[in-house]
Structure formats: C-alpha cells, structure tokens
Structure 1
Amino acid sequence: MTLRIDIWSDVNCPWCYIGKRRFEEGLRSFVHADEVEVTWHAYLLDPSLPERFDGTEAEYLAQMKGMSPEQVEGMLAQVTEAAASVGLDYHFEKLVPAQSLRAHALVKAAALHGKDAGAVKEALLSAHFVEGRVTSDEDVLVEIGASVGLSEEVVRSSLTDRQVLGLVQEDITTAQRIGVTGVPFFVFDQKYAVSGAQQVEVFTQVLERAWTEAHGE
C-alpha cells in the first residue's frame, strides 16, 4: 500500500519551490520512498493577478502588499538566500508576474494523460523563478508540455478545457474547505498536515510517522 501525499502549491510562490526541494530531500532519506505517491494540487495566491502584470516582481509586491521598495528588496533578498540554500538560483530581477491558472491547467493535463505531473511542476517553477519566462504564455506551456510527451494540441486545448479547469477549481475549493490559507501545504496520508517550507527534518519525521501508523512498522 502506497503512502499518499497531497501538495497544494502555486507556481507564483517562491516558498513552494523551496518547500518542494526540502520535501524531496526528506523523501530521499525515507526508506519507503519508492512507495510514496505525490499528487499536486492547484492554489491561487492572487486570483486577481492579470495574465501578465505590467511591471517587475518588486513593483507587483509593493503594490499588492503595500510595502516600501526597501522592504520588498529586503524580503526578496531573504527569499533568494533561502532558495540558494537548497540549490535554487532565483532571479527576481527578470521574473515576470503572471496569472498561474494556465500553469495549473497544464499540471492537471499531464496527470490526466498519464504523464509526469511532478516534472511539469518542476519545469514551471524553474521557468518562473530561475529562467524568468512567462508561465502564462501558451508557447512556453507547449514547450514544457512537450518535455513530458504532451502534444501541442493537447496542451493548447487543455488551457480552456472544462474538465481540466474543473479539476483546478476543485483543488481550490478543497483547499478552502480544509482550511488552507497559505502554500506550500502538505497532507500526508490524509491525516497529517504540514504548512510552509519546513526544514527537511520535519518532512522526514512526518513521513516516518504516517508510514508507521499506516503499516504498523
């Protein structure tokens, strides 16, 4: 019996990428890692964000959070340092703020067609935070989809497909129902929740606890 892990995250969330790396490190040291099944769920940090924001990430954050340029600069420096500690090279100066609904649709389409949704999630996060690509752009999404074996037709149609978008909305609704107020948010075996980009040891401990309770080992 596999151990189920559900993860809510947003492509626009810098801590989601950091949390993904820390979780993955914890999973690597887990003896039953090959019996863990991860499902990625959609979450929109800012549903009002346009398809492409006309400005920089710093300008967007200052506008959204009401922070001064100095405060934003300090916050981004802190996040960049945290990202570097897990091997991620963030470039906020070239990041393009963009609505993530289409990106979430691509992750769902990958799962529906039996492709590696986790690899799509990884590529989207890298494109956004490391490469500075526009993750709401159809051509970018087609390229990422192709990397896991999705055809251009499937990718483009999925961005407006009712079933796919319905699955995205279902994730968002479930997050609201179970009280998710920020991401990343991890649920282990539908019992144990971990909120935020916690340290590796936290993920390791919860993995072991969930497995032991489910299997009596």
Structure 2
Amino acid sequence: MVELEVWSDVACPWCYIGATRLAAALDGFDRRDRVRVTWRAYELAPDAEAGAGRRAVDALVESKGMTTEQARHMFGQVSQVASGDGLHLDFDATIAANTFDAHRLVHLAGAGTARGGRVLRALYRAYFTDGVAVDDVDALVRIAEAEGLDAGQVRAGLADPDSAAAVTVREDELLAARFGITGVPFFIADRKYAVSGAQPVGVLTELLRRAFDGPEDH
C-alpha cells in the first residue's frame, strides 16, 4: 500500500486543479486500489478574517498590493488553465474566506477516506464556482449533509475550538513546516518521493509508479 499525502488549501485554485489531475492519474493507474490518499491542511492565509464576506479579487488587491486589473488578469490566467481540466472557476463570485473550519470539515469527514475527498471537492466547487463563503458554519453544514454527514455532529465539531479535527489541522500544518513545505499543492508518497505544484497527470502518475517500484535506473 502506498500512502499519498496531499497538502492543499480550499482557497487555492492550483490545489483544485492539482486535486483534479490527481483524480485523473489515479483513474488511469493500474494499482489504484493500493493507494491511500490523505488530504492534509495548509492555510495560505491563516490570519484571514472569518466572515468578512469580501470578494476574492478585492482581498487579493489588498493583500498583494495589486491593481484590480492585475488581479483580474491573474485570475483570468488561472481560469484558463482550469478550463483545460474541465473546471469552471468564477472568481467574480468567489468570496475570500478563512479556511480553518473548511479544513476541519475535511477531517470530520475522514481526511484519509473517499468521503473526505468528496467533501474537499465539494468545498472547492462551493468556493470557486458557487460563490459560497466556506467560513460560514451553516454553509459548511449544508455541504457536509449533502455528502452524507450528520448535521448535528458536524455543527458540534465545528463549534468546539479544541476538537480533534482542530488538533489534526494544526498537526498537518506542523508537519508541513517540518517537511519545509512553503507552497501548495504538495504531494508526498510514502514520505520518500515528492512533487510540488499542480503537476500534469503524467508527473503524478510517475510519482505513484516510483513509490511502488523505486526510481528507474539510468
């Protein structure tokens, strides 16, 4: 069994693209049933104000000192890449958010399970396509319910700042620091082989192959 750990952030479009490409790589990999994917938390903006309700383009202008035109151009380039992977990103609708609770929801769903992966994909769609504020507890509960989780349990888990899910998110981030991860998405197979960024499907397939077979001799 190969353990594949993926650090990502719900508010990272390249992570959405990377997760989509990983799904394609796994679909075409002949040992898919021997790969376990665990989604690990990484917050690109841990100090972002929760519930601010600002548009992502305005938040980017403020945080990076860009003009609105520069921010829109950057988002347009990302959207064009994403469309090649079958994704529709609507940055005009995207609401900047603190993603800590969204990461907690993935862990409540089971970050190393298929359901956790489905919840993460639902969070990406909510954030980048549907204009959902993913730091709104009610919105997170609706996403969880749609994926078969118990609304009461999810609401209770998100209400507790010291919940097991909260502790695990912090542990993920400490691991990222230990491994020297400074950008996402970041993929590590068996804690031996790693690639960074939204790599093409072929690169991710090769990462899986190396994890099973070791590096090729040259």
Fold equivalence (TM over 0.5): yes
Q: Contact between 1:22 and 1:199, CA under 8 Å: does it hold in 2? A: yes
Q: Contact between 2:56 and 2:96, CA under 8 Å: does it hold in 1? A: yes
Q: Distance in 1 between matches of 2:181 and 2:21?
A: 20
Question: What residue in structure 2 maps to residue 110 of structure 1?
Answer: 109
SS at match of 1:116: helix
TM-score after normalising by structure 2: 0.93
Question: Mean alpha-carbon deviation: is it higher for 146-155 or for 201-210?
Answer: 146-155
Q: Contact between 1:120 and 1:144, CA under 8 Å: does it hold in 2? A: yes
Question: Structure 1 residue 20 and structure 2 residue 14: aligned?
Answer: no
Q: Contact between 2:185 and 2:197, CA under 8 Å: does it hold in 1? A: yes
1:1-217 equivalences in 2 (<5 Å): 2-111=1-110, 116-161=115-160, 162=162, 163-213=164-214
Q: Distance in 2 between matches of 1:122 and 1:56?
A: 21
Q: Distance in 1 between matches of 2:210 and 2:195?
A: 13
Give the direction of change, closer, same or farther, for the CA distance of 1:50–1:194 in structure 2 (3 Å limit).
same
Q: Contact between 1:43 and 1:171, CA under 8 Å: does it hold in 2? A: yes
Q: Distance in 1 between matches of 2:34 and 2:11?
A: 29
1:159-209 deviations in Å (ceiling 9; x for gaps): 133221101100011101110101101001211111000111111111111
Q: Distance in 2 between matches of 1:30 and 1:170?
A: 30
* Counterpart amino acid of residue 102 in structure 2: A
SS at match of 1:159: helix
TM-score after normalising by structure 1: 0.93
Q: Distance in 1 between matches of 2:27 and 2:149?
A: 28
* Counterpart amino acid of residue 150 in structure 1: L
User: 1:54 Cα deviation (Å)?
Assistant: 4.3
Give the direction of change, closer, same or farther, for the CA distance of 1:79–1:113 in structure 2 (3 Å limit).
closer
Q: Distance in 1 between matches of 2:111 and 2:175?
A: 19
5+ residue gaps, structure 2: none
Question: Mean alpha-carbon deviation: is it higher for 52-61 or for 204-213?
Answer: 52-61
User: 1:39 Cα deviation (Å)?
Assistant: 0.3
SS at match of 2:66: coil
Runs (4 or more) in structure 1 with deviation over 4 Å come to 112-115
Q: Distance in 1 between matches of 2:124 and 2:112?
A: 21
Q: Distance in 2 between matches of 1:88 and 1:114?
A: 23
Q: Contact between 1:8 and 1:42, CA under 8 Å: does it hold in 2? A: yes
Question: Mean alpha-carbon deviation: is it higher for 204-213 or for 105-114?
Answer: 105-114
Give the direction of change, closer, same or farther, for the CA distance of 1:182–1:138 in structure 2 (3 Å limit).
same
User: 1:114 Cα deviation (Å)?
Assistant: 7.0
Alignment RMSD (CA, Å): 1.7
SS at match of 2:63: helix
Aligned residue pair count: 213
5+ residue gaps, structure 1: none
Identity among equivalent positions (%) equals 41
* Counterpart amino acid of residue 205 in structure 1: E
